[in-house]
Amino acid sequence: MGPLLHPTAIIDPAAQLAGDVEVGPYAVIEAGVTLAAGCRIASHAIIRSGSVLDAGVVVDSFAVVGGLPQDLSFSPATVSGVHVGSGSVIREGVTIHRSTQPGGVTRIGAKCLLMANAHVAHDCQLADNVVLANNVMLAGHVHIGSGSFLGGGCGVHQFVTIGPLVMVAGNASITYDVPAYVMVVERSTVSGLNLVGLKRHLSSEVIADLRACYKAVYMQPGDPVKAAKTATAQTQPGRNFLAGFASTRRGRFSRSRRQQ
């Protein structure tokens, strides 16, 4: 069975499409695009040059994958791209910009869900199973750990790193690096551990250790970064949580709104 290509779709002959790819009406697939088996591109979606979509990726209407970075110093002659992992879903109106770096990629991991009108700027790196709710705004060079959920309308400053299994509240403003496993609300405020997410993925023993680590860092007087250096953990996730305070590109959240 050959690909199901609507006659009104514009597909460059230099694009590489697997045999069972579906492309809807008026969609645009540029040269240098690679669509793996099972990809489905809806009507009016645009996949620009340099984009690679792994198996089973779905791109909904009016989404643009691989658009030019919104960087005044960027040269369109730069060869870069976007890589979307297998099974990810890109809903309607989403924009994902290609990297500013020669040979670089903006990366979306496997089984991610980017809801309507989310924006992923150049050079962002999303791990597997990340969810961006409607209207999430990621500035350039943002890194997001696996299993994290970003609520609708939240904005993330450039070069911020968000750890795995983090829950970000809707309309939150994130301007500093976020430790793994926490919840974030309002403007750069940690409000506790993401217990709902942790219970889905980690044992009760690990969660108890993370509680102890969290309290050692956030529930004591003084600087949480300094507290993390002297705190101890009994499990690897706990050690990962503490180690996350040792390096940062934007500075760490230093406040907690409530105890956990």
**Of residues 119, 122, 141, 157, which has the active-site annotation?**
122
**Of residues 54, 60, 123, 209, which has the active-site annotation?**
123
Q: Tens digit of pLDDT for each residue in 138-154?
A: 999 999 999 999 999 99
Q: Is 140 annotated as catalytic?
A: yes
Q: Work out the pLDDT band at 257, boundaries 50, 70, 90.
A: low
Secondary structure (DSSP) of 61-89: TT-EEEEPPS-TT--TTS--EEEE-TT-E
- pLDDT for the residue 259: 45
Q: At what angle do helices 204-218 and 236-243 cross, to 10 degrees?
A: 30
Q: Is 141 annotated as catalytic?
A: no
Q: Is 209 annotated as catalytic?
A: no
String of b and e for 45-56 (b: at least 16 CB within 10 Å)? bbbbbbbbbbeb
Q: Work out the pLDDT band at 256, boundaries 50, 70, 90.
A: low
DSSP state of 221: S
Q: Tens digit of pLDDT for each residue in 37-64?
A: 999 999 999 999 999 999 999 999 999 9
Dihedral through CA 66, CA 72, CA 73, CA 74, nearest 10? 10
Within its chain, how far is the Cα of 43 from the centroid? 24
Within its chain, how far is the Cα of 243 from the centroid? 21
**CB under 8 Å to 140, separation ≥6 — which residues?**
69, 71, 100, 121, 122, 123, 124, 158, 159
User: Would the pLDDT of 235 be above 90?
Assistant: yes
**May I ask the CATH architecture of the domain 4-199?**
3 Solenoid (2.160)
DSSP state of 44: T
User: Would the pLDDT of 252 be above 70?
Assistant: no
Higher pLDDT, 155 or 253: 155
**Of residues 140, 151, 197, 244, which has the active-site annotation?**
140
Q: Tens digit of pLDDT for each residue in 58-78?
A: 999 999 999 999 999 999 999
- pLDDT for the residue 188: 85
Inter-residue contact 90 to 57 (CB < 8 Å): yes
According to DSSP, the β-strands at 182-185 and 189-193 are antiparallel
Q: Tens digit of pLDDT for each residue in 169-225?
A: 999 999 999 999 999 999 888 999 999 999 999 999 999 999 999 999 998 888 888
Within its chain, how far is the Cα of 27 from the centroid? 25
